[in-house]
Amino acid sequence: MMRFATAFLAAFAATLALPTASVLAQDAVAERPAEKPLWAFEDSDIPVDPAFRFGVLDNGMRYILRENATPEGTALVRLHIGSGSLDETDKERGLAHFLEHMAFNGSRRIPEGEMVKLLEREGLAFGADTNASTSFEQTVYKLNLPRNNEELLDTALMLMRETASELSISQEAVDRERGVILSERRDRRNFAYKEIEDRLAFTVPGARYADRLPIGVIEVLEHANADDIRAFYRRTYVPANAVVVIVGDYPLTEMEAMVRRWFGDWEAAPDPAKPEAGPIDIARSSDTDIYVDPALPERLRIMRFRPWDDRPDTVVMRQQNILRQVGYAIVNRRFQALARGEDAPFRGAGFGTGDVFEDARMTSLVIDTEDDGWARGLDAATVELRRALQYGFSQSEVDEQVAKIRSALEASVRGSSTRTNGALMNAALGLLDEQRVPSTPESSLERFEAFANSITPEATLAALRDDAAKLAEPLIRFEGRSEPDGGAPALRAAWESAMQIAIAAPEKAETKAFAYTDFGPPGVVASYTTDDRFGFHLVRFSNGVRLTLKQTDIRKDKISFRLTLDGGQLMETREDPLKTALVSSIPSGGLGAHSQDELESVLAGRRVRLSVSSQAEGFQMGGSTTPDDLQLQMQLLAAALTDPGYRQEGEERFRRNVKTFFASLDATPAQALGNKLGEILSDGDPRFSLQPEEAYQDLTFSQLAADIGDRLKHGAIELALVGDFEPQAAIDAVAATLGALPAREADFQLREAARTRQFTQDHSTRTVTHSGEPDQAMVRMTWLTTDDRDLAEALRLNLLNRVVDIELQEQLREELGKTYSPSSSSSPSKTYHGYGTFSLTASVDVNEVEATRAAIRAMLADLLARPVNEDTLARARQPLLESYDNMLKSLGGWMSLADLAQSEADRLQRFIDAPEIIESISAEDIRATAQRYLGPGKAVEILVLPEGQTR
């Protein structure tokens, strides 16, 4: 709930000025015009998707409706208010976000404290399905409906209308919520947030938006009263400033009738004036800034402004945006190649230009380097940028980017009929926030193909040069753990020197063909059965590879895959706890015949992916592909098993990341806790404890190859494919690749000796310190529970977790205002015998630690003493049941059953049995489960305090 951070960070995309791939979803994005009609498509030659219904009520409120059945039987409802923190006066800074919180604290029809309860009874989980966000220019309220009955939509729109015009905003509720708001602000203001504050102060001094971060300022939040919030509410929450959006499995006529019924009598009022975001001095140049924080990795920003220009969303503008997109993408592709190479000059770099509201456009060169590596990184990135702007691009570079765009657009067309509610909702909100016309995938592809021949190296370079501000006498900003040698003069001198380095035309590299297409004679199917309960096809090849197929068209032209290879973290020992730590870096080393960077060019435009991770009981490769690329994806997986590249650059990238990680180990309470928790709970078992930095730096691919090479060659394999494919075509693709490999082990190794995990017997309170903000603290309590072999017990723990979560929200957050986001979790282990944990976490003010501990203990004592009330139990149970009802409406849900359907076949029946067991769990069962595990003295309590603080 109140997910301010996501919208806040998104609002800084223009400030960061790094290019995005939004063109891949539709044509390139056009920016908002200065004066807009009621709907952006009214002044555009881009044809709007006719499946959307747009309307306006007599009072001026607009609505957007879209009937859609992916996922089937669900819907999304949004109330979009076109005002955010920019609409605040100096005395209101933070009230847009404060008001968003008040929307869940009582209205004319809903008593205070009852809105969330009402939604939980309907199966909407707090936070996941009931949410809101505030940014600079809008506030959006969100309800995700788990089913499509008429009554639930009626309830949802009633609540949105209550939010729009009928909130109580009592002084008592404001005073209670104040603590939650201050807690959220405290939690947000970490090293990264403070860097943003400082960056804005340097980059746009005096701009209104730099002083209107949505979380607000302490002096307003501590003293704002109900009248202040109500004044902002009445001024900005008016029909002309509101849009209701519904996307989901309801008839359009039903949605429209309900919108008109609930919002038709909302009294019209003047639309608030559009606030200023600037001013921004676009001529400003040659200033330099240094910002130091021990937690910040080193970064250089080279910036210049240019005037903002109105770019209405038209066919011509989208064509120009495609040219710009390709140009920026090629430059950044070159940076990526440098960062992936041996002895890389920087960790990463980016070049781009973006709007700063409607006041300016800003071009940025951003360079991430190792500590004290800024000068070398600046030279390398500047030379490569100058090379691109002087000599332009090769045809092969343009072709690579065009192939990516075409591939994405073609995939959108093939999957058009099963676009998700979320994707369509984003398109609708894009119309409101970015004035981007939601066209059909088919028309987007048609326009792209009509223009594709015009995407030449010459046109792309011209578009890039025209769009990007010249970085003459730029603003330079350094951030890092320590000041650069020589300070600001050295930064400026280094830039001027880099601009004088002689440059030569780039070398043109030929793109190779993919080297892995023949793995020998296709494998033979040894067995083929079906599981009619789920429609699974269960295949086993003669070499031992197992394949599970689930054919479904819930997402047209999309296939989810997951390969599990015997091994994983169970291979790690006390003597060698990092044996598999380097596994995720295998793709960075490429394949024997192709580096990672070369692979990107070889596979450009193909929907394939290579990633490897070390999970508890196996190594996993997963992702998504399409029917056309399934064969290639299987070839890529087989190549990764048979010929990993293990190149030096992969090791180097891993080591750079390790260095960055260890430099900010305890920068926030959450980081400090996360890096010490495993060690505390396991009494220092090296398998679950963070090892010294040197141990990670010493890891090598040669040792990894020796440690897991036998698993790659012989380990059992289970592959699952879920999605839109023909079963025989899928079997043939696997037979020609994984099925053609030499014989594998028949089953996954049990590794029983590794399946023991100790839970500390020392239940004394521990203290962990962090180096972050001096007012931030955290309380963590963890109990030992059990493994998940007993399904009923695992489900009782799950339901207990949801009950505790509700109690934490109501008591710590709503009643006491101690913390913004207290949470609980239950994790019965599938891997370690008899092991599982139940935990509570609360981030609090350092002065509220003892009061928070006391409140948690009181809540737990009450839970142990008497059965939870039936309403709380129902509110915990219903979202859990809805999650089971909706699980098999997505490829991810199906994959959670299919991935190990053969080696862990018993778990399929568990899914079938779970809802009935959940329904049968009583309040007394919940109390008994709590008594069994959460009794007094059983918790390991950890307090995370600022450095220098003691209990």
What is the C-alpha separation between 27 and 114, in angstroms, rounded?
44
744: its two tokens:
């594998």
511: its two tokens:
């793109």
What is the C-alpha separation between 155 and 75, in angstroms, rounded?
13
- Please indicate whether residue 511 or residue 280 has the higher confidence score (pLDDT): 280
pLDDT (tens digit, 9 = 90+) per residue, 83-119? Answer: 999 999 999 999 999 999 999 888 999 998 899 899 9
Q: Residue 9: its pLDDT value, please?
A: 35
* Mean pLDDT within 459-477: 98
* Mean pLDDT within 931-938: 95
Spatial CA neighbour of 336 closest among 526, 600, 91: 600
pLDDT band at 814 (very low <50, low <70, confident <90, very high): low
Residues forming a β-bridge with 288: 476
Q: Is the pTM of this model over 0.85?
A: yes
CB 157 within 8 A of CB 258: yes
Residues forming a β-bridge with 784: 837
At residue 40, φ and ψ (nearest 5 deg) are -60, -30
Using CB atoms within 10 Å of the CB of residue 608, give its burial: 0 to 12 exposed, 13 to 18 middle, 19+ buried: buried
CB 2 within 8 A of CB 343: no
pLDDT (tens digit, 9 = 90+) per residue, 401-429? Answer: 999 999 999 999 999 999 999 999 999 99
Residue 839 — left, alpha, or beta (φ > 0 → left; ψ -120 to 50 → alpha)? beta
pLDDT band at 36 (very low <50, low <70, confident <90, very high): low
Q: Residue 508: its pLDDT value, please?
A: 81
What is the C-alpha separation between 41 and 48, in angstroms, rounded?
7
Q: Residue 19: its pLDDT value, please?
A: 34
Residue at token pair 């669900």: 74
Q: Over 776-844, what HEC string results?
A: EEEEEEEEECCCCCCHHHHHHHHHHHHHHHHHHHHHHHHHCCCCCCCEEEEEECCCCCCCEEEEEEEEE
* Residue 314 DSSP SS3: coil
pLDDT (tens digit, 9 = 90+) per residue, 674-726? Answer: 999 999 999 999 999 999 999 999 999 999 999 999 999 999 999 999 999 99
Residue 17 has pLDDT above 80, yes or no: no
- 950 HSE (CA, 13 A, CB side): 0
Q: Residue 948: its pLDDT value, please?
A: 83
Calculate the alpha carbon distances from 312 to 46, 64, 887 in Å.
11, 21, 41
Each residue of 928-942: b (16+ CB within 10 Å) or e? ebbebbbeeeebbbb
Spatial CA neighbour of 562 closest among 897, 71, 908: 897
What is the C-alpha separation between 345 and 296, in angstroms, rounded?
19
* Residue 630 DSSP SS3: helix
Q: What percent of the chain has pLDDT over 90?
A: 91
* Residue 126 DSSP SS3: strand
Residues forming a β-bridge with 945: 769
What is the C-alpha separation between 527 and 819, in angstroms, rounded?
56
Spatial CA neighbour of 93 closest among 228, 266, 199: 228
434: its two tokens:
């970015």
Using CB atoms within 10 Å of the CB of residue 150, give its burial: 0 to 12 exposed, 13 to 18 middle, 19+ buried: exposed
When the pLDDT of each residue in the chain is averaged and rounded to a whole number, the result is 94
CB 562 within 8 A of CB 620: yes
Residue 506 has pLDDT above 60, yes or no: yes
What is the C-alpha separation between 53 and 69, in angstroms, rounded?
16
What is the C-alpha separation between 267 and 272, in angstroms, rounded?
15
DSSP string, 830-888: SSSTT-EEEEEEEEEEGGGHHHHHHHHHHHHHHHHHSPPPHHHHHHHHHHHHHHHHHGG
Pairing of β 766-770 and β 940-946: parallel
DSSP string, 353-369: EEEETTTEEEEEEEEEE
What is the C-alpha separation between 732 and 563, in angstroms, rounded?
17
pLDDT (tens digit, 9 = 90+) per residue, 181-220? Answer: 999 999 999 999 999 999 999 999 999 999 999 999 999 9
Residue type at 429 in one-letter notation: L
pLDDT band at 22 (very low <50, low <70, confident <90, very high): very low
Q: Residue 907: its pLDDT value, please?
A: 95
CB 665 within 8 A of CB 672: yes
Q: Residue 14: its pLDDT value, please?
A: 33
Q: What percent of the chain has pLDDT over 70?
A: 95
Q: How many CB atoms lie within 10 A of CB 550?
A: 23
Q: Residue 421: its pLDDT value, please?
A: 97
* Mean pLDDT within 243-257: 98
Residue type at 208 in one-letter notation: R
CB 155 within 8 A of CB 118: yes
User: By 3-state DSSP, what share of the chain in percent is helix, strand and coil, each rounded to 5?
Assistant: 45, 15, 35
